[in-house]
Amino acid sequence: MTTTTLTARALLLDMDGTIVNSDAVVERCWRRWAEEHGLDADEALKVVHGRQGYATMAVLLPDRPMELNHEDNRRMLEAETADIDGVVPVPGAPAFMAALAGLPHALVTSADRALSDARMGAAGLPMPAVRVTAESVGASKPDPEGFLKGAAELGFDARDCVVFEDSEAGITAGKAAGMRVVGVGPRAAAHAPDVAVADLTRVRVQAAPDGGILLTITEG
């Protein structure tokens, strides 16, 4: 195994698939939606991760009016918020988040505030003081807007931030923002993050002597 050390001034964390495992809910809700629209559910599930729901629907049904996607997205968010069965922390996430207490970090998620409250609560993880949710941005990942906004709210340049992400859309967004990206979980390595780990048990967080953040990462 290879050990990599990264230094940062702030960390920007995706939620689903990165610190919270919500795959069971995502699969239930999106399979139902795909079947309602005559789509292959297995193929649909390959593109749902990382994006806001309306953006996923636009990929899957490119000729469909966007207002219908936004209507379905609202219903999807309500269904996902009400369903927390099987929502658990990603291995290592509780210790990872505890180590970040007092260090600059933000949640940058495609979920809205209600869904992020529900899933972070179900996983037993502390909500960062700074979070960028669906309501905060005009464009979904892979657009970098969310990560750039998170960095700005924390008061740091993009080059001083490290992103933690699991999806192609999220990794693309982090790179487009000019940030280094740590890929987490089974989906991440295929999308060329700077470093890839199986889960957060492979990441050690420490306060650096200069006030920054020192990450010791065991790849794999």
Catalytic machinery residues = 14, 16
**Nearest C-alpha neighbor of 150 from the set 177, 180, 188:** 177
Residues with Cβ within 8 Å of 110's Cβ and at least 6 positions away in sequence, in order, are: 16, 50, 51, 52, 134, 140, 141, 146
In degrees and rounded to multiples of 5, residue 162 shows phi and psi of -115, 130
The answer to whether 18 and 185 are in contact (CB under 8 A) is yes
Q: Position 108: which residue type?
A: V
The alpha carbon dihedral of 157, 192, 196, 56 has a sign of positive
The helix/strand count (H/E) of the chain reads as: 8, 11
Which candidate, 133, 142, 130, 115, places its Cα nearest to that of 20?
115
Q: Enter the tokens of residue 172.
A: 């693309």
33 exposure class (CB count in 10 Å sphere: 0-12, 13-18, 19+): buried
Strands (DSSP E) contained in the chain are 3-8, 10-13, 20-21, 88-89, 105-108, 130-132, 161-165, 180-184, 195-197, 203-207, 213-218
